[in-house]
Amino acid sequence: MLDHIKFNAKTRINDADIMQETPLLVKTSNNWVQAVLGNFDSFLLDHAAAEKKASGMAISMLSHYPDRTRLVTKMTDLAIEELTHYREVLRWIPSRGLVTVADTKDQYVILLRQAIRKETDAYFLDRLLIASVIEARGAERFALIADALQMLPMKKFYQSLAKSEARHYELFLDLAAVYFDSSAIESRWRQILKIEAEILSDLPVRAALH
Ligand SMILES: [Fe+2]
Ligand SMILES: [Fe+2]
């Protein structure tokens, strides 16, 4: 479904360079990669929090739509997978002499969520598409980090995360296709990609996922 707005999953997932296949309208700058490499500890703590929030978001989705069986099943799987990512990131934290910190607000996500429309169906579609674009950005950025890192275990870890987040980007588009017409999805998807690009371009570069 929606194959013309997605890229070929098999090609992408087997391809080391996820960036070349991304639906995103703007590429992450090299300045961001340098900021992350320059303060990897800060990035790692923020990344841990982002995985935990992704798990919480999946639970929030299934709680909000308990009668949508496919969504509930997929969000249950996703909540577990994202929490598994959190556990994997947590393994790196003490080995670097770090301790997890309180969550901070993610301005990128806050601004994206402001684009969610209020009307019931539009609200649902927007939540799915915004979740998808967040996953696509995560996939792009984890692939960039994987490319930039020299330490082999960490490099492999980020390569595997990039593949997971790329699958999640597709998962949310597939879920949208279960509940909405492709024409409704396509027009809103184009708008959301544009909104995401504008938000990203306006945000400061920092050693954090967003
Ligand atoms: Fe994740
Ligand atoms: Fe994800």
pLDDT digits (tens, 9 = 90+) for 14-59: 444 544 578 999 999 999 999 999 999 999 999 999 999 999 999 9
* Ligand 2 centroid, distance to 55 Cα (angstroms): 8
Report long-range pairs for 57-62 (Cβ below 8 Å, ≥24 apart): 57/131, 58/82, 61/127, 61/131
Helices vs strands, H then E, count in the chain: 8, 0
* Ligand 1 centroid, distance to 198 Cα (angstroms): 23
Q: Is pLDDT above 90 for 8? A: no
Question: Taking Cα atoms as reference points, which of 29, 83, 30, 36 lies closest to residue 55?
Answer: 83
State the average pLDDT over residues 137-154: 95
Q: Which ligand is nearest to the CA of 137?
A: 2
Task: Check residue 22 and give its pLDDT.
Answer: 87
CA distance readout (Å), 124 to 64, 100, 203: 10, 32, 26
* Ligand 1 centroid, distance to 79 Cα (angstroms): 9
Tell me the per-residue pLDDT of 110-133, one tens digit each, with 9 for 90 and over. Answer: 999 999 999 999 999 999 999 999
**Domains along the sequence of the chain with CATH:** 30-202 (1.20.1260.10)
- Residue 198, exposed/middle/buried by CB under 10 A (0-12, 13-18, 19+)? middle
Task: Check residue 18 and give its pLDDT.
Answer: 47
* Ligand 2 centroid, distance to 94 Cα (angstroms): 23
Tell me if residue 172 falls in helix, strand or coil: helix
CA distance readout (Å), 68 to 114, 136, 167: 24, 24, 21
Q: Is pLDDT above 60 for 4? A: no
* Ligand 1 centroid, distance to 72 Cα (angstroms): 18
Tally of residues, the chain = 210
Q: Which ligand is nearest to the CA of 158?
A: 1
* Ligand 1 centroid, distance to 55 Cα (angstroms): 8
* Ligand 2 centroid, distance to 54 Cα (angstroms): 6
Task: Check residue 6 and give its pLDDT.
Answer: 58
Chain-wide mean pLDDT for the chain?
92
The pTM of this model reads 0.91
- Residue 91, exposed/middle/buried by CB under 10 A (0-12, 13-18, 19+)? exposed
Maximum distance among all Cα pairs of the chain, rounded to whole angstroms: 50
* Ligand 2 centroid, distance to 150 Cα (angstroms): 24
State the average pLDDT over residues 129-158: 96
* Ligand 2 centroid, distance to 122 Cα (angstroms): 22
* Ligand 2 centroid, distance to 88 Cα (angstroms): 13
* Ligand 2 centroid, distance to 210 Cα (angstroms): 14
Question: Taking Cα atoms as reference points, which of 18, 26, 23 lies closest to residue 200?
Answer: 26
Letter for the amino acid at 199? I
Q: Which residue would you say has higher pLDDT here, 13 or 172?
A: 172
Task: Give the Cα separation of 72 and 59 in Å (integer).
Answer: 9
Q: Is pLDDT above 90 for 78? A: yes
Instruction: Work out whether the CA dihedral 206, 28, 12, 24 comes out positive or negative.
Output: positive
What percentage of the chain's residues is helix, strand, coil (to nearest 5)? 75, 0, 25
Tell me the per-residue pLDDT of 161-199, one tens digit each, with 9 for 90 and over. Answer: 999 999 999 999 999 999 999 999 999 999 999 999 999
Q: Is pLDDT above 50 for 145? A: yes
Q: Which ligand is nearest to the CA of 168?
A: 2
Task: Check residue 2 and give its pLDDT.
Answer: 57
Letter for the amino acid at 10? K
* Ligand 2 centroid, distance to 20 Cα (angstroms): 19
Buried (b) or exposed (e) across 36-59, using 16+ Cβ within 10 A? beeebebbbbbbbbbbbbbbebbb
Task: Give the Cα separation of 63 and 174 in Å (integer).
Answer: 19
